[in-house]
Structure 1
Amino acid sequence: MISRRSVLRGMGQASAIATLPSFSLTALAQAPKAVPLTIGIGGYTFAYLPLLAAKATNILLEEGLDVSLVNTGSGTNTLAAMLGGSIEVSGLVMSDVILAAAKGQKIQAFAPLMSQYASDAIISVSAAKKVGIEPGMPLKERMARMKGLVLAVSGRGSGIDKLWRYMLALGGLDPDRDVTLTVVKLDQMYSALKSGQIDGFNTTAPANNRAVDEGLAVWVARPSQGEVPGLENFLYTALCARPGYTADKADVAGKLTRGLARASQMLQDNPKEVGRLMQKEFFGQTDLQLIESAVVDQRKTAAVPPTLSQQQFDQNLEFMVRFGHDVKGVTYRDVIDPRLLSA
């Protein structure tokens, strides 16, 4: 069995990697042939930050894995590919894993990605002035002042929809009466805000960071920074596979888990360098300074140390029950395989 100690041992090497983040040609030539592995993700967003970092910095290659990322376009598509057997490993939001289990579909998380709910909310500068939201206001007061605004969601019942409803309720608002929740595609939310079609949106970086950096918007709620009650230390996304994967492919799963742990530590130690490499690998059309600053801003969302705890599971379950999902029969062992992180 691969122990938590062996997984964490590799994290100590992250500082050295921060100054020399990629292979030398000599080291690459001498390394054993890497094992190919395809991982499905719903898009190139910071919801998968440690995985993108591990890939961009060559950490996964150093661990002996030749990882190819497949952008399925959505978590729903990723889940379907996993259930259909076309993808062995995938990055998924924990709520999707729990919902799958409630339907009798067997998928388990075996390595954490984000240990904070990483979807931060913004509203336009003009909307903030209109409703009187100012810097330093308590979160509940900010939410109470959101009445009358038009806010984007990616779909009815989506994670973005749920988060707006959860946060607006903190301010005493009824999301179905006091605001307008309108469906906008994720990749169009920034443009919709800029053109004035919507007043705000919540999503993972870098679109929201871009709007704030450009002076178009202000932060109105920051779950990624732990400021939303009930969502602190929230297991947001994780790497998942079919049950038994960590036993059947212990070597591959162990290398992957260890690589993610190293990448998460590197995000803490040298976020700008990780940002530079991520921009080069995944975000070539996005300003380098924006990606660097977004990584600095979001680095604390990465799971360090990596945990998949009962408490994290319970928190996810309670969040879903709040929205009427029938998931009370789902257990920790149904959706989480902690063997790689066990002592």
Structure 2
Amino acid sequence: MDMNKTPELNRLTLGFVPLLDAALLVIARERGFFAAQGIDVSLSRENAWSTLRDKVAAGLLDGAQMLSPMPLAMSLGLERAPCDALAPITLSRNGNAFVLSTSLCEQSGAALGSEPAASARALGNWLGQGRRPRLAMVYPFSCQHYLLREWLALGGIDPDRDVELVVLPPPRMVTALSEGQIDGFCAGEPWGSLAEHYRVGRLVASGAQLWPEHPEKVLGVTHSWAHHYPATLAALIRALVAASEWLAETPENRRQALAWLALPPYLDRSVNHLDSLPLDTAPIHQRLYGPGVLRPDVEAMGRIAEQLNRSLRHVERSLDIPALHECYSPVHFDAAMHQ
């Protein structure tokens, strides 16, 4: 199939949640990479992952930035009716932060270090003396949820007994922490650094320390959409690759990307505390560019698939391996890039 033919759609809408790893979508629109591929893309800000998921499934969005486990969870019918979905390009790797409230850090002695187990053990030692903390993650089938559970286990903490886990949209995290509604969270940037900036929380570990180079966000589309609009999908992939390559070129480009992210339709004031786009710096190590970053990789989904399989065992199901391979196959990416 010729992926260089004219896109079947010349106007489409993609959803995103306000996080730094929406950057490639924003760059591709603002820098004109979508337009260069013959597509006029509108970006729709959605504050909750469940809303974004449902809009893609219903055809109200052509596709969206998604949590990397989400296309597979949709295909397996977890938390909603099954909807076959694909992740034809990775948008980011790493990028998550574990944050505890400033008061909880002071009481427990939990602090950021080279080994994430140290902060988890500090919290675990404190639990015997204090109350049961409430910790937030962004979505049940997310790296943030799975990483949070794994980090707690490093400290001997049972995530189902010793703490209360709740779901909150990323933009709600810092306010909820400041108001005492939660005692900590795991979320993507800029929300962890914003909590530190406002001095309501402190970073105690990162996802990159636990699962280095894990796929974090992907572009998600339904299988039906990809089947009906293959040239449009190829154009989207090429535009996002061009955005990634442009971002890698110079620090000036990364500063310009941050300026675009700071526009009101995107992340607005939530990035005002950042002097530059803090990519691939310790401890977050967020990756939006570089060799192999964007190409889908089933093997890299291994830790995530293992966690999803555990979720399925609770309802006496097992992971559908063919569905896993179809969701994260590089076939669409390779066809678009002629690899």
TM-score (norm 2): 0.78
Task: Give 1:274 deviation, angstroms.
Answer: 1.0
Quote how far apart the aligned CAs of 1:169 are: 0.9
- Between the aligned partners of 2:99 and 2:274, the Cα distance in structure 1 is 16
- DSSP 3-state at the match of 2:60: coil
Residue 133 of structure 1: which of 106, 110, 131 is its match? Answer: 110
**Residue 47 (structure 1) shift:** 4.4
Distance 1:242 1:158, change over 3 A: closer
1:175 paired with 2:159, answer: yes
Q: Tell me, which stretches of 5 or more residues in structure 1 are unaligned?
A: 7-33
Instruction: Give the superposition deviation at 1:242.
Output: 2.6
Q: Does 1:336 align with 2:328?
A: yes
Report the equivalent of 2:171. 187
- 1:78 corresponds, among 17, 33, 52, to 52
Preserved CA contact (<8 Å) 1:268 1:300: no
CA contact 2:85–2:327 (8 Å) conserved in 1: yes
C-alpha displacement at 1:239, in angstroms? Answer: 1.2
* RMSD over equivalenced CA pairs, Å: 3.0
Task: Determine if contact 2:109/2:123 at 8 Å carries over to the other structure.
Answer: no
Equivalent-residue separation in structure 1 for 2:91 and 2:318 (angstroms)? 22
Is it true that 1:36 corresponds to 2:18 in the alignment?
no
Distance verdict in 2 for CA 1:227–1:69, change over 3 Å: same
Task: Provide Cα deviations, 1:26-58, integer angstroms capped at 9, x if missing partner.
Answer: xxxxxxxx92121123x2223433223322333
Q: Supply the distance in 1 between the matched residues of 2:138 and 2:255 (Cα, whole angstroms).
A: 33
Cα distance change on mapping 1:327 and 1:279 into 2, 3 Å:
farther
What's the CA shift for 1:174? 0.9
What does residue 255 of structure 2 align with?
Answer: 272
TM-score, with normalisation over the residues of structure 1? 0.77
Residue-by-residue CA offset, 1:106-126 (whole Å, 9 max, x unaligned): 11111111222x331112333
**Secondary structure in 2 aligned to 1:290?**
coil
AA aligned to 2:331 is R
Match of 2:214 in 1: 234
Deviation per residue, 1:225-267 (Å, 9 max, x gap): x211xx2222222112232645643332222111211222333
- d(CA) in 2 for partners of 1:295 and 1:169? 28
> 1:69 & 1:200 partners in 2: Cα distance?
30
Give the share of equivalent positions with the same residue, in percent.
Answer: 19
Query: Residues 50-129 of structure 1: matches in 2 within 5 Å?
Result: 50-103=24-77, 104-116=82-94, 118-129=95-106
Whether the 8 Å CA contact 1:266–1:274 is kept in 2: the answer is no
Distance 1:50 1:129, change over 3 A: same
Gaps of 5+ in 2: none
More helix by share: 1
Q: Aligned with 1:300: secondary structure?
A: coil
Hey, what does 1:261 align to over in structure 2? 241
Change in 2 beyond 3 A, CA 1:71/1:291: farther
In the alignment, which residue of structure 1 is the partner of 2:148? 164
Q: Distance in 1 between matches of 2:280 and 2:247?
A: 8
Q: In the alignment, is the contact (CA less than 8 A) between 1:115 and 1:303 conserved in 2?
A: no
Alpha-carbon offset, residue 86 of structure 1: 2.8
Code of the aligned partner of 2:88: F
CA-CA distance at 1:69 after TM superposition: 1.4
Paired position in structure 1 for 2:229: 249
Per-residue CA deviation, residues 200-235 of structure 1 (Å, 9 max, x unaligned), is 211112221112234433211111xx211xx22222
The change in CA–CA distance for 1:78 and 1:214 in structure 2 (over 3 A counts) is closer
Tell me, yes or no, if structure 1 residue 146 matches structure 2 residue 119: no
Distance in 2 of aligned mates of 1:47 and 1:327: 31
In structure 2, C-alpha distance between the alignment counterparts of 1:161 and 1:80, rounded to whole Å: 20
> What is the CA-CA distance between 1:60 and the residue it aligns to?
2.0
Provide the C-alpha distance between the structure 2 equivalents of 1:156 and 1:313, rounded to a whole number of angstroms: 17
For 1:282, what is the secondary structure of its paired residue?
coil
Q: Tell me the CA shift for residue 139 of structure 1.
A: 1.0
- The answer as to whether partners of 1:275 and 1:295 remain within 8 angstroms in 2 is no
